[in-house]
Structure formats: structure tokens, C-alpha cells
Amino acid sequence: MTRGVFHLLHHEHQARYDKMFPYLWAYAILLVLAGFVLDNPANILRGLYTIITTEDALITDYVLVAGPGAALVNSAIVTAISICLLYASRDTLNGMTLVEMGLMSGFSLFGKNFLNIWPILAGTWLYTRVRRQRLAGNIGIGLMATALAPIVSYIALDNGWGGPVEGVLVGIAIGFIMPPLATYTYRIQNGMNLYNVGFACGLVALVCVPLMASLGADPTTHYRWARGYELPFGLMLGVLCVLLIVGGLFFAQKPVWASWAGYRRLLQTSGRAPSDYLRMFGPAPVCINIGVNGLIGMAFLLATGGDLNGPTVGGILTIMGFSAFGKHAFNILPVMAGVALGSVVMDWSLTDSAVQLACLFCTTLAPVAGYFGWGYGVLAGFLHSSVVLYTGSPVAGMNLYNNGFSGGLIAIVLYPTIMAIARHRKPVLQEEDYFDQLEGDRPVMPPEPKKLKEEE
């Protein structure tokens, strides 16, 4: 009887989050409309063909190779595919769902397309069949594992080695091994690197690329980088962020003061993974957080002389997605400041394409700042700004989540070092997620610092 009541309540809570689907579809439609505003249908069709027949190694800006309209429509198609897969698998929607939308739509502007993601997704589905697991528990990893889609494109397009069949088989193999690998790498990073799957993908790429080279392939890193799109992309991103903030404050069926109070409580968290802000605080504070972080990312980029194009817009969309799962203004700014500090003493500039991406994706280490303090966050960003410039070369740009791989390396080194040296500065926030999935899908507030001190 008790078990039946639990399942009934669980389904009721799950149905509440299913209300997210119309908003996810609205986001995909906005991407399509934006694409057709920036280009005409004929150019978009030609651009989509160019996208699926182009090698996608990092950095391949679809805005440059196919035009802004085609890049945005490709992003919309990939986003729509992701929504359909989440719905078909009956995956429980939560903060990680918004992360997946940010990643899939963002990286579809420079590396993922509506064809090269399918073999990896098929591999994840095959893994669930062999292991007799629910696809719902693994579809998220499958979606994020498409960071290795450039490997599929490289082999399938026969760039010196392979062909379509080999590309599909390699993609299936990648999708098959990613769920257990991502589960393992999640544990060794201590929740300090939010791009866990990116770290796992980096390990797989370190194996795949040398094997490909030994078999006759010669993958090379590309730097296709568009410039001059600051006005259209800036306007679109700015309007989207403002709408999210206004919606969170005034249209979330909550008093304005309650929405703002929730956002202020969100800012007090460390962001250490897993931190599902949607379930911890509800949709209103999360919408505000997404909008604010999007504006911060765009302002930081433009203030340092950066460009708005496929890769950088993808980076901003990634920050916005992770604003539902660990990132907020107080823990991303110190890490971004660390990258800026690196530009003062290092032999590179903030305007370099790879560094511009590092300025945005360095926020994978936001939990370091939130957990240990802003000083350590600056240190993490400072180290990341240099490490990430070299981690892409051994894998020839085949891992789109290169910053996740670099962030994982830094997290593995920094966490035990800081704990050994400054353990007395360990913050009062509890280490585990504030939300326990087995207890039902309801917002849970962080513990009060005073109460925790009394318990200690």
C-alpha cells in the first residue's frame, strides 16, 4: 500500500515537471525563427548540406562555413531531436534537462549536427538493452556524449581513412561505453567539475585518436572562426536573457519578493555537483539565474574584445543551461577573473579564439569558487586558461567538450591539494545534493549555516 502511494506521488511530481515540454518546444521554435530572420530558405538549405558534409573538429564555426541562418536551424533541429528523445524515453525532467538543452543547442552551432549525433545515441540505446536498464536513466549521458560527434563525421566522410559504415560503428561503440565511464569519472572529480561527461569524452578521445592515426588517419585541429556578428547575436541573446529575468520575477505565479528571495538563496550555494537548482528552488529563481548568467557571459566576452559567433554563443548557452545545475553569478565570476588574470602574465591574449572559449567554459570549475572561496576560484580559472590550450591538441579537436576535459584534470589536482592545505576552511554547506530523488520532486532549501554550526 505504502509503495503504491509512493509511486502515485512520484508520478504526480514527474507530471508537474512535464509542463516544461511546451517551453522547451518554444525555445526550439525561437531558434528556427531566428535562423530565418538572419537568412533566406535557399541559403539555409545549402548551409545545412554544408554542415553535414563538413569535418566538425574543434573549432568549426557553422556560422562561418554555412551562414548564421543554417547554424541556428541546425541548432533548432538538434534541440527538437533531443526533446523528442527525452519525451519518448520518459526521462524525468529536472535541472539537468535544461543543461542538456543548453549543451545540445549551443554545440550545434559548432560541431554537432542532426546526422552525426545518431550513431552515439544508438550506442547508448544499445547499452540500455544489453544491461536491461531504462533508457530514461541514460539518455542524458547519451545526449552529452555527442561531444564526440566529430569523430563520427571525420570517419564517415572518409577524410583519409574510414567510411560511412566505419563512422557509424565507431559512434555506436562510443555511445555504448559512455554511460559506465561517465558514472566512474563523476566520482573521482568530487563534484568540482560540472562538465563531467566532457572529462569522460576526453579520455575516450585520447584512446580513439591515436588508434585512428595508427590506422592511417591524420586528423588535424581546425580554426574556423566567424567575426562581425556581435549586433544580431547580441540583440537576440540580450532579449532572451531579459525575458527570462522578467518572466522569473513577474510571471512565475509567485510574488516578486518570493522569486527574488529564492534567487538570493540560490546565490548562497556552492554549486558543487549535483546541485539541481530547479528542484531546490523552483522555476522562478532559476529563470532569473539563467538570464543573469547569460548577460554576464555576454558582457564579459564583449568587454574583453571577444566575438559573438557560433562557438561563443554556444558557450553562453552552455552557461545558461548550467544555471539550473550549479552555476550562479557568485561562483562563475571568480573563475572568469582567473582567466582574465592569466592574460596579463601569459603569452596569449583574451582575444584569441581558444581563450575566448576558455573565458566562458572555464565556469565548469565554478564549484571550486563556491565551495572553497573566490580566491581558489581565481586560481582554478588561472590554471584552466593555460591547460585548456594544450589538451585539445592530443585529440585533434575531436572532443567538443575540451574545457570539460581540462576542468576535470584541474579538479582532480586541486581538490585534494586544497583539502590538505586549507581543510579548516571547508565551508558549512553539506557536500551532498540538497535534493534526494527518492523523496519526491519538490523544492528543498539549503540548510541554514547557523544550524549546521550548532550540529557540528
Question: Is the per-residue pLDDT at 444 higher than 50?
Answer: no
Averaged pLDDT for residues 132-161:
90
Q: What percent of the chain has pLDDT over 70?
A: 88
Please list the residues that pair with 224 across neighbouring strands.
60
Q: What is the mean pLDDT of the chain?
A: 87
In-domain check, residue 364: yes
Closest-CA residue to 51 (of 172, 167, 150)? 150
In-domain check, residue 388: yes
In-domain check, residue 147: no
217: which 3 cell numbers?
Answer: 588517419
Instruction: Return the pLDDT at 366.
Output: 96
Q: How many residues does the chain have?
A: 456
Averaged pLDDT for residues 106-129:
96
Render pLDDT for 312-351 as a digit per residue (tens, 0 to 9).
999 999 999 999 999 999 999 999 999 999 888 888 888 8
Averaged pLDDT for residues 110-115:
95
Instruction: Return the pLDDT at 423.
Output: 61
Closest-CA residue to 61 (of 228, 198, 189, 207)? 228
Question: Would you say 68 and 39 are in contact if contact means Cβ atoms under 8 Å apart?
Answer: yes
Q: Which stretch of 53-57, 194-198, 444-448 has the lowest confidence by average pLDDT?
A: 444-448
Render pLDDT for 403-414 as a digit per residue (tens, 0 to 9).
999 999 999 999
Instruction: Return the pLDDT at 443.
Output: 42
pTM of structure: 0.90
Query: Which domain covers residue 298, as residue numbers?
Result: 230-425
In-domain check, residue 285: yes
In-domain check, residue 47: no
Q: For 251-282, where are the alpha helices, taking DSSP H only? A: 256-266, 277-281
In-domain check, residue 300: yes
Question: Is the per-residue pLDDT at 1 higher than 60?
Answer: no
In-domain check, residue 340: yes
Q: What percent of the chain has pLDDT over 90?
A: 68
In-domain check, residue 255: yes
At 24, is the pLDDT very low, low, confident or very high (cuts 50, 70, 90)? very high
Question: Is the per-residue pLDDT at 454 higher than 90?
Answer: no
367: which 3 cell numbers?
Answer: 564549484
Total tally of structural domains belonging to the chain:
1
Question: Is the per-residue pLDDT at 359 higher than 50?
Answer: yes
